[in-house]
Amino acid sequence: MITAQFNQWQDCGYVHPLTCGKNSDHGALEAKSEGPDALIVECPLCEWSQTIVRGSTLYQILGQFNLVRPNFYGPTDGSTP
Ligand SMILES: [Zn+2]
């Protein structure tokens, strides 16, 4: 489930996507695996990866992303929520 919200974050176009810790020009990180305690995301171009631990601030923000979107940012297509 957190993978879907991570993908929404990476693709939405109105937040900065999470990028490689070695070179931010490597492109947006991609979800690799989701376990009970963490989401692991990795760089599409190199071996760099990041573990987003359940309970961390980032994990919580991602987990609420689809909920906060209409309130904080509004729809991106100009329609009314
Ligand atoms: Zn990289």
Position 76 in a domain: no
Instruction: Answer yes or no: is 18 within a domain.
Output: yes
Give the Å distance between the CA of 73 and the centre of ligand 1. Answer: 29
Question: Is the predicted pLDDT of residue 74 greater than 90, yes or no?
Answer: no
Span from the CA of 42 to the centroid of ligand 1 (angstroms):
8
Ligand 1 centroid distance, CA of 64 (Å): 27
Residue 32 included in any domain: yes
- Per-residue pLDDT tens over the stretch 9-55: 998 888 899 999 999 999 999 999 999 999 999 999 999 999 999 99
pTM above 0.85, yes or no: no
- The pair of structure tokens assigned to 9 is 């974050």
Residue that wins the pLDDT comparison between 76 and 49: 49
Whether residue 78 is predicted with pLDDT greater than 80 in this model: the reply is no
**Does residue 60 fall inside a structural domain?**
yes
- The answer to whether the CB of 62 falls within 8 A of the CB of 53 is no
